Amino acid sequence: MIRIGMIGADSTHTEAWTQLVNPADSPLHGRARVVKLWGEDREQAQAKASEWQIPEVVGTPAEALADVDLAMVVNRYGEDHPPHARLAIEAGLPTFVDKPFANEMGDVHSLVRLAAERDVPLMSCSALRYAGEVMELQERMEGFGALNCAVVSGAAAGDFPDPRAMHPFFYGIHATELLHTLLGSGAAAVTTRRTERCDIGLVHYADGRQGVVNLLHETPGLYHGAVYGAAGWGEANIVDGDRFYTETLARVIQMAVSGEPPFPVDWTVEVMAIMAALVRSAEEGGRTVQIGKFGQ
């Protein structure tokens, strides 16, 4: 059984992941267990550990990484991820970094390089990549022929009191991950139109495909994607949160078992670069921004 050391207790994802493995009736029970938890607020960490049967609350992030098989960095905000992910990689542990991977592309590249140097499996994604509705759509996409376009929609930012929830990577990463899941790699540039209601990014691909990322400033929790091919089309309205957490964690656990992430970490870099280009274009009045500027 895979022993998980978890860093971060300030996010609802702490319990979202733990409840899938620790309780006896959980869907992934027996495959893994969260055995250590560190949180900046020790009282908060202890409350979550008690509720979800985590046996040990530790005093430092480094202690959460001792005598475990897998590190999960699940702090709520992306700015807190790089130092903790760096600790986990330096400890030689397969490492999952919750969304967003980081808030700066420099940190993204630094962590990816470090993982390559240390030969450590590294994974980061929005759980929407493994939404059941999306995986079912992917099965049907084989009959759509050459793909022309995908349109994805989701929240632009969080509505939490903490201003860090307004960082565009915080929630915008979900829709961007969904676009990459549907259209794959090869994005070249982004042109963004920003209004007070939404940011709409047009993602240009070198082979002529186009993607539309619609980040809504007011939304009832919508995550939706549609993809259009020469011979067919389909859509996914994502509502089953339990399944996308379960499907994602199953792959994280398998990474710890096999030593191989479920997809190339370059995919994560491209997702982050698309998001960075989308934001830069919006900030510069809609100028088309090359993704290569962020993807090196």
- What pLDDT sits at residue 129? 98
**What pLDDT score was predicted for residue 296?**
54
Alpha carbon distance 259, 250 (integer Å): 14
Q: Look at residues 40, 44, 33 and name the one whose alpha carbon lies nearest to residue 59.
A: 40
CB atoms within 10 A of CB 130: 21
The pLDDT score that the predictor gives to residue 220 is: 83
Q: So where are the chain's domains?
A: 2-124, 131-239+271-295
pLDDT at 116: 98
Instruction: Supply the pTM of this predicted model.
Output: 0.96
131-239+271-295 maps to which CATH number?
A: 3.30.360.10
Q: Just give the CATH number of 2-124.
A: 3.40.50.720
User: Strand 70-73 vs strand 2-7: parallel, antiparallel, or unpaired?
Assistant: parallel
Identical fold at 2-124 and 131-239+271-295?
no
Query: In the chain, which residues have pLDDT < 50?
Result: none
Give, rounded to a whole angstrom, the gap between the first and last alpha carbons of the chain.
37
Whole-angstrom distance, CA of residue 290 vs CA of residue 280: 10
Distance CA 53, CA 4 (A): 13
